[in-house]
Amino acid sequence: MKLTGIELRRIGLPLVSPFRTSFGTQTQRDILLIRAVTDAAEGWGECVTLVDPAYSEEYVDGAVDVLTRFLIPALASADQLDGAAVQTILGGFKGHRMAKAALEMAVLDAELTSLGRPLARELGAVHDRVPCGVSVGIMDSVPQLLDAVQGYVEEGYLRVKLKIEPGWDIEPVRAVRERFGEQLLLQVDANTAYTLADARHLAKLDPFDLLLIEQPLDEDDILGHARLAQLMTTPMCLDESITSARSAAAAISFGACSVVNIKPGRVGGYLEARRIHDVCLAHGVAVWCGGMLETGIGRAANVALAALPGFTLPGDTSGSNRYYHQDITEPFVLDDGHLAVPTGAGIGVAPRPEYLNEVTTWSQWVPL
Ligand code: NPQ
Ligand code: MG
């Protein structure tokens, strides 16, 4: 397969409601999409960067820059391009995992589409649908939170994740537990908002029988997470800290986590995500698929990944309507708390051209 060129496209999509986390409030999503045009087929990729370097050091303008100046031109040297070749070539550049992941996804989609093979089968999926959880942002009040959770439970979500930060942690968790009972699968995500000095406070979450606490400490604080894991009974899960299969293996060996949130964007792509899955499965560490408020493009690929055997916990693979009034692809709709794994070739979905054009704010063709 030979690459003809890459189209970069930025779209603006308003969120159905503001999404507040410990690092800020988002009211809309500015998303970079990648279309890989090859001599065999076309493929789509989605970059999960935010506008600001708030969740990780990457950001949308930076991704556009590194893609156009370095990552895309580097692919010109390959005469036989496929997803694996992209990974090898991009390995020559440090960092920029979200940008790399998006490019890898677009080439992988083109490759698998030309071969008629679904991404899920290629990755080793063993399920045809995946159980879904929902991530619930920080709210202005507990009653408002209970209303939101009630709505998601009625929609069929099988697991609820509450975003927490200092000042919004024990009481909201207690209130949700009291209202919805102990059978509700419940977990929390701090997005690095605490320090090890908060250990005694965080241990007050232990009586609420949470599935896990996600990334309470700084992303480079593996030792801190290992210490904190010994000071609480709630299972420790890492998100931001896990950037590769090697860092996952190290974190597990240090006792820093017993659960891992796998996000393909954060780790540089679906192929590395599968390796993390393999490492975790070998160590008996449960994994689940995280989310970055993807459109149907990224969502389709995440659902394919979440169908691998080690994904034993419901993911943040919510329905399209959790975030968007109108998705750019056919919407993903929850059925009995699950999303169906796409069965078409490649990622199995593509944007609807008219709506895509309507929401496009910028585009650029990069020939090879
Ligand atoms: C997490 N996601 O697990 C992230 C972080 C996150 C679904 O909780 C705009 C775009 C706002 C992506 C806020 C979920 C975001 C975002 C938080 C991702 O840590
Ligand atoms: Mg997280």
Query: What band does 104 get if pLDDT is binned at 50, 70 and 90?
Result: very high
Which atom of ligand 1 lies at the shortest distance from residue 161's CA?
A: 8
In angstroms, the Cα distances linking 174 to 27, 116, 182, 183, 356 are 27, 49, 11, 14, 42
Burial 208-230 (b: 16+ CB within 10 A, else e): bebbbbbbbbbbebbebbbbbbe
Q: Is the pLDDT of residue 79 over 90?
A: no
- Residue 83: the pLDDT is 85
Rounded mean pLDDT of 72-91?
92
DSSP 132: B
Q: What stretch of H or E contains 352? A: none
Whole-angstrom distance, CA of residue 48 vs CA of residue 60: 8
Q: What is the pairing mode between strands 159-163 and 133-136?
A: parallel
- Residue 145: the pLDDT is 98
Q: What is the mean pLDDT of the chain?
A: 97
Rounded mean pLDDT of 132-140?
98
Q: What is the pairing mode between strands 213-214 and 360-367?
A: unpaired
Ligand 2 centroid from CA 188, angstroms: 9
Of 151, 216, 189, 187, which Cα lies nearest the Cα of 314?
Answer: 187
pTM: 0.98
* Tens-digit pLDDT profile for residues 244-278: 999 999 999 999 999 999 999 999 999 999 999 99
Query: What band does 358 get if pLDDT is binned at 50, 70 and 90?
Result: very high
Q: Is the pLDDT of residue 78 over 90?
A: no
Whole-angstrom distance, CA of residue 346 vs CA of residue 114: 8
Ligand 1 centroid from CA 71, angstroms: 25
- Residue 319: the pLDDT is 98
Helices (H), 19-75: 60-66, 72-74
| Helices and strands (DSSP H and E) totals, the chain | 14, 13
Q: Is the pLDDT of residue 349 over 90?
A: yes
Return the residue whose CA atom lies nearest to atom 17 of ligand 1: 21
Binding-site residues, ligand 1, Cβ < 6 A: 19, 21, 26, 29, 50, 55, 135, 189, 191, 239, 290-293, 316
Whole-angstrom distance, CA of residue 297 vs CA of residue 301: 7
Phi-psi region of 156 (alpha: psi -120 to 50; beta: other; left: phi over 0): left
CB 261 within 8 A of CB 290: yes
3-state DSSP of 227-289: HHHHHCCCCEEECCCCCCHHHHHHHHHCCCCCEEEECHHHHCCHHHHHHHHHHHHHCCCEEEE
DSSP 166: T
Residue that the structure tokens 């290992």 belong to: 226
Q: Across the strands, what pairs with 46?
A: 33
Instruction: Write down all domains in the chain, each with its CATH number in brackets.
Output: 3-116+349-367 (3.30.390.10), 121-340 (3.20.20.120)
Ligand 1 centroid from CA 115, angstroms: 33
* Tens-digit pLDDT profile for residues 160-169: 999 999 999 9
Give the three-class secondary structure for 323: coil
Residue that the structure tokens 């796409």 belong to: 342
Q: What percent of the chain has pLDDT over 70?
A: 100
Handedness of CA 348, 354, 356, 362 (dihedral sign): positive
Pocket test for ligand 1, best of 21, 238, 261 (most atoms within 8 A of CB): 21
Contacts by 276-281 with C-beta closer than 8 Å and gap 24+?
276/242, 276/244, 276/245, 276/248, 277/305, 277/308, 277/310, 277/311, 278/245, 278/310, 279/245, 279/248, 279/249, 279/252, 280/248, 280/252, 280/310, 281/309, 281/310
Ligand 1 centroid from CA 37, angstroms: 30
CB 114 within 8 A of CB 108: no
Return the residue whose CA atom lies nearest to atom 5 of ligand 1: 292
Q: Across the strands, what pairs with 118?
A: 346
